[in-house]
Amino acid sequence: MTKTATLQLEALAPPTCMQKIEAAIKSVDGVDRDSVKVLFNASKAKAGFDADVTDADEIADAVHAIGYDALKVKSC
């Protein structure tokens, strides 16, 4: 089953953070790499994922692992 996770990102500094966050999210097994979007001005990230393989918490954990705060806003 395909779902979409929306994360609220905290402490974004330069736009180069977007590339690091995008790469971290894309590294999670089950994430649809073509669906990943990091919106600097909105401080949000969105990603489609296979719910049989991963979940929004694991995606947020990948962002945490590289030193950024990510709060799960919704997963549907």
Q: Taking 70 as the threshold, does the pLDDT of residue 76 lie above it?
A: no
Range of the domain at 39: 2-75
Segment 39-46 mean pLDDT: 88
The domain total for the chain is: 1
Within 10 angstroms of residue 50's Cβ, the number of other Cβ atoms is: 14
| Sign of CA pseudo-dihedral 42, 30, 33, 59 | positive
11 vs 26, more confident: 26
Q: Considering the entire predicted model, what is its pTM?
A: 0.86
* Interaxial angle between packed helices 16-26 and 56-65, expressed in degrees from 0 to 180 and rounded to the nearest 10: 130
Give 10-24 pLDDT, tens digit per residue: 766 677 778 899 999
13 vs 40, more confident: 40
User: For residue 40, what is the domain's CATH number?
Assistant: 3.30.70.100
